[in-house]
Amino acid sequence: MLITSKLPNVGTTIFSVMSALANEHKAINLSQGFPNFDCSDKLKTLVEKYIRKGYNQYAPMPGIPALRHRLVEKIEKLYGVTIDPDLEITITAGATQALYCAISAFVKPDDEVILIEPAYDCYRPAIEINGGIPVTYQMEAPNYQVDWKMLERLITWRTRMIVVNTPHNPTGKTFKENDWERLRAIAEDRDILVLCDEAYEHIVFDKEKHRSLIQFPEIFSRGLSVFSLGKTLHATGWKIGAIVAPPKLSKEFRKVHQFCNFSINTPFQYAIADFLEDPEEYLHLNEFFQKKRDFLLSAMNGSRFKPIHSEGTYFQLFDYSEISDEPDTEFAKRMTTEFGVASIPVSVFNSNKKDDKIIRLCFAKTEETLAKAGELLRKV
């Protein structure tokens, strides 16, 4: 049988490759973006409570009402916007499923979708598998800022969607008020949707605040915001997220969602709804992770790596150009095998493999782990 791949250029992700290499060489894994510390005991107790109480069958397709209402309360508290829990919010199997279904719901064959690169690796395959055409805007290191005039030149009559990400993985940069204003001006007179990945909404540093798409009515009227409860709760393996969009867009999103997942893990939804009743469980994540960012920077002090300022997420970029002129993928592999620390080369986030000699380290780790990693990297 002749099988023609719908994703011929997709292989094993770099995240799997680097994690496997780290395991093989017993290296410290700062490559993949997950904590090496556990989630709250209180949260685990709540999950057990609902499992034992028998909340183990299908949840409603949009998510259980209690969790949708809880997230609406959170959105109003943080962003000052009132969301309809029945028509504008859907619980998903993590942010990745939400992004995939959002793209599947609206992108048709030959539609163009603008991606801002470096870009997280799940966007492009979702566009391509639906017959869309990714159109790339390339940000330049080390500032990684969008020149909106240049981006606007990429728009054609085929442009269906712009995908944005703030706080941004892998660069750690965040959208400012001006970015949203420029995006509004670009989108408002065109038939273009805006899909915003806000997985790291609670991880913004230096006393700055996250600016959500939801806060900008002109963009939200044509926008979809994606959130990750796994990131918020230090429980990435639970794969629970949410998407917020106006009723007409949510309606189309749910048409795809119901045939992809239909519903999400029931007892976990009830547990999270109870857990988030106390805003203190998420309001101080920025401070928590800023301490880890600063601890890593301190641990790296004295090394030949040059940090690129991280404004959010739990990733920190480092320029290694003073150490080696190797391609970043080869350097990252050698750093794992010879020095015992696994990272992610940033060129893998660029479709053209643009290589600025920069690696990404995840600092969602214990201080003990970060201290040991810094000790090893000072020897590079």
What is the tens place of the pLDDT at every residue in 315-340? 999 999 999 999 999 999 999 999 99
- What pLDDT, on a 0 to 100 scale, did the predictor assign at position 227? 98
For the cut 80, the answer to whether the pLDDT of residue 275 exceeds it is yes
Q: What is the pLDDT of residues 33-58, one digit of tens each?
A: 999 999 999 999 999 999 999 999 99
- CB atoms under 10 Å from CB of 39, counted, come to 17
User: What's the rounded mean pLDDT across residues 191-204?
Assistant: 97
Segments of the chain assigned to CATH 3.40.640.10: 58-281
pLDDT value, residue 12:
78
In sequence order, the β-bridge partners of residue 197 are 165, 226
Provide mean pLDDT across the span 122-150.
97
- Confirm or reject CATH 2.40.10.10 for domain 14-32+284-377, answering yes or no: no
Average pLDDT over the chain, rounded to an integer: 96
Residues of the chain with CATH 3.90.1150.10: 14-32+284-377
What pLDDT sits at residue 124? 97
Q: What percent of the chain has pLDDT over 90?
A: 93
Q: What Cα–Cα distance (Å) separates residue 233 from each residue in 4, 161, 198, 313, 359?
A: 40, 30, 15, 14, 26
CATH no., domain 58-281: 3.40.640.10
Q: What is the pLDDT of residue 157?
A: 96
Phi, psi of 25 (to 5 degrees): -105, 10
Task: Please write down the long-range contacts of 133-136, taking CB distance under 8 Å and 24 or more positions apart.
Answer: 133/158, 134/351, 135/159, 136/351, 136/352
Arithmetic mean of pLDDT, 262-279: 97
Global pTM value: 0.96
| Residue that the structure tokens 């700062």 belong to | 30
**pLDDT of 11 strictly over 80:** no
